[in-house]
Chains A and B, each alone.
Chain A
Amino acid sequence: MSRSPDTTRLVSLRSARDLIDRDFATAVNVTALAAQAGYSRYHFIRAFRAAYGATPGDYLSRRRVERACELLRTANLTVTEVCFLVGFASLGSFSSRFSELLRCSPSEYQRRAAEQGGPPPVPGCMVLMWDAPRPAMRNRGEAAGDSAPVASARTERMEPIEGDKT
């Protein structure tokens, strides 16, 4: 049972995505990821987006925000601590990406989570695999219609992600 070129390609893209999921808190280098997956940087970004609907940089920052949500809900850490723990290089970039995805600030999110009391009532592995929060989804109690669709201009942007962490 030999693997088709398509399957081999998808396996290497998945391995790259797994690395992002595992090493999200460190400086992820997209050129290195591309090389590891057997692509040029340019083709890697395109192929990754074709497979997963987001560029590697976009996927990484969504993963960081999703992990930040968990820490804001469960850990006794300040917003600034969480920001650097999940790999953002500055509070400004963290806050703006967070607000863009969740339509509230990290501190507002933390306050609401505390009121609701602790982690979500579903297994953590499902939270992880349910993927990062997207616009128009998941923000408790907000109407789905009031934000941009998933395939917004945001996901089209190629975001440099090297050196994202100091």
Chain B
Amino acid sequence: MISKLSHAGVLVLDQNSAKQFYTETLGFTVRNDVEMGADFAGAGQGFRWLTVSPPGQQDLEFILAAPEMGHDEETARQLRDLVAKGAFGGGVWQTDDCRKTYEELSQRGVTFVQEPAERPYGVEAVFRDDSGNWFSLTQHF
């Protein structure tokens, strides 16, 4: 029996910039930032394992992965293009106050593609991370 989701994530265009965005802009904490060095030649060398957690959910590690991970050059290029185009969505982040969080994040330069709006299930806005992944920001009723 599966009990819960512990890891999920998105592809990001630049892990350094994503780390800064998720921590400084969104207020997440870094859980892991490890790069496999030359010791791991042939077994993951160059792989950077970068995960963050939202303030209220330390048992979820959100993976900020490079499109190159595990892919040939052409596949990585295609993935990178799709991320840049804004084709991917990463999920729903929960908040106690959507309108307030919208104001705070807007002031920090976050791109919103939809302002807070009332839905049958709550108040919801839609924003993008610094790579172009879109997320819902929802205050559930």
A119: contacting residue among B85, B115, B119, CB under 8 A: B119
Beta-carbon contact of B14 and A125 below 8 Å: no
Q: Is B34 an interface residue (CB 8 A)?
A: no
Q: Is B21 an interface residue (CB 8 A)?
A: no
Beta-carbon contact of B114 and A128 below 8 Å: yes
A7: contacting residue among B13, B86, B121, CB under 8 A: B13
In the assembled complex, the CB of B72 is this many whole angstroms from the nearest CB of chain A, namely 16
Beta-carbon contact of B126 and A1 below 8 Å: no
Q: Is B8 an interface residue (CB 8 A)?
A: no
Beta-carbon contact of B121 and A3 below 8 Å: no
Beta-carbon contact of A10 and B81 below 8 Å: yes
The CB with the most chain B CB atoms within 10 A, among A11, A52, A125, is that of A125
Instruction: Given A1-B66, A129-B126, answer yes or no on A22-B84 (Cβ-Cβ < 8 Å).
Output: no
Q: Is B95 an interface residue (CB 8 A)?
A: no
Beta-carbon contact of A1 and B81 below 8 Å: no
Beta-carbon contact of A22 and B113 below 8 Å: yes
B120: contacting residue among A6, A118, A128, CB under 8 A: A118
- What is the 8 Å Cβ interface bit string for chain B, positions 110-141, against chain A (1 contact, 0 not)? 01111101011100101010001010101000
In the assembled complex, the CB of B48 is this many whole angstroms from the nearest CB of chain A, namely 10
Beta-carbon contact of A125 and B136 below 8 Å: yes
Beta-carbon contact of B120 and A3 below 8 Å: no
Beta-carbon contact of B16 and A1 below 8 Å: yes
The complex places the Cα of A161 from the Cα of B140 at a distance, in Å, of 37
Beta-carbon contact of B119 and A7 below 8 Å: no
What residues make up the interface of B, taking CB atoms closer than 8 Å to A? 13-16, 66, 77, 80-81, 84-86, 89, 92, 111-115, 117, 119-121, 124, 126, 128, 132, 134, 136, 138
**A and B contact pairs by CB, cutoff 8 A, 17 listed:** A4-B77, A10-B84, A11-B13, A13-B85, A14-B84, A14-B132, A21-B113, A22-B111, A22-B113, A22-B115, A123-B92, A123-B119, A124-B119, A125-B89, A128-B126, A129-B126, A129-B134
